[in-house]
Amino acid sequence: MPVLHGGGQERHVRSGTLDVPAVAAFAVAARLAAERREEFAREVGALRDELVTAVRTSVPDAILGGDPVDRLPANAHFTFPGCEGDSLLLLLDAAGIACSTGSACTAGIAQPSHVLLATGTDPDLARGTLRFSLGHTSTKEDVAAVADAIGPAVERARTAGLT
């Protein structure tokens, strides 16, 4: 029984030809990621710490989610009391900053994160959350841009209030 319909490779069991260059490139990428994992975690973790400091300086009542010490290096999750996460998302997007209010599988759903609610987070607080993710292309300039934009965005979102 064919897995996909189309080409006749492997006695009509598989459709298409393997992309050998992509397979080889993936192998190299996986090897490099494994070799550079500790360096990446150290560098991006330091950048994440700068982001956390910048957000807390700009918005002193922002609540940093997660364990205060044992954190993922490329992630900072904040709750901004009195704000709608979607309002913040749009305001920061207009400033050229990409962030998220939740997981990709719940994109477009205007409800607080079911995960945060399951942890006992107050629903109004859960509605004001943002996740910032960093990667190998993130820079100190990116962190500075967040630092410049987050305070005014939070003020504006608080003016709009929770709907």
pLDDT tens, the chain, 163 aa long: 655 666 666 676 666 777 899 999 999 999 999 999 999 999 999 999 999 999 999 999 999 988 878 889 999 999 999 998 889 999 999 999 999 886 555 555 566 777 777 777 777 777 788 999 999 999 999 999 999 999 999 999 998 865 5
Query: Which position among 105, 107, 137, 163 bears the catalytic label?
Result: 105
| Catalytic residue check, 83 | no
Q: Are 101 and 153 in contact (CB under 8 A)?
A: no
> For residue 5, what pLDDT is reported?
63
Distances (CA, A) of 97 to 91, 93, 134, 146, 149: 9, 5, 12, 7, 8
> For residue 14, what pLDDT is reported?
67
Give the HSE-up count for residue 50: Cα atoms under 13 Å, Cβ half-sphere.
17
**DSSP secondary structure code for residue 130 in this structure:** E
> For residue 84, what pLDDT is reported?
87
> For residue 141, what pLDDT is reported?
96
